Amino acid sequence: MNLLNNLIDGLHFVFILVPIIIYLIPINIVKIFFKFILLAFILNPLTWQLSNNECIMTKMTKSKNDKSISNSGFSEKYFAWLYKPILMMFNKEWTSENINLAVMAHYAINLLLLWIYLFYIAKEQTL
């Protein structure tokens, strides 16, 4: 079970970083998958609403002994290094509400990165 959780967490981590990773991959490879990547990122918030404001992948790997303070246990575990300094910069405490705010801000930046890629990087290529 631990191996499966690590595999799911790894896929979750890669999914979150895809909007950055695609800038490092040649466009002829990205164009094969871009439509599906964009669709996944557009539909992802819907899955949160269907799972009581919790990511399905986070829900799958959450253990009984999980000590996370929000519905974003994965983000608390793997992205605290990024979110805590940002919250401190805006004079926000590490609370469930503020963690969700940081997650949403990160998600918005990811969508912006995908939008920039689509309309500025790949505009001359057919995706």
What is d(CA 82, CA 92) in angstroms, rounded to the nearest whole number? 14
pLDDT of 63 higher than 80:
no
DSSP collapsed to 3 states, 4-26 = HHHHHHHHHHHHHHHHHHHHHCC
Q: Lowest mean pLDDT of 9-18, 59-68, 107-116, name the range.
A: 59-68
pLDDT tens digits, 97-110: 999 899 999 999 99
What are the boundaries of each domain within the chain? 2-121
Please report the pLDDT score of residue 64 as a whole number: 59
Name, in order, each residue with C-beta under 8 angstroms of 53's C-beta and a sequence gap of 6 or more: 71, 100
Query: Minimal CA–CA distance to 16: which of 96, 104, 101?
Result: 104
User: Is the Cβ–Cβ distance between 13 and 7 less than 8 Å?
Assistant: no
What's this model's pTM, rounded to 2 decimal places?
0.85
**Averaged pLDDT score across all residues of the chain:** 88
Please report the pLDDT score of residue 107 as a whole number: 93
Name, in order, each residue with C-beta under 8 angstroms of 105's C-beta and a sequence gap of 6 or more: 86
**In sequence order, what E strands does the chain have?**
none
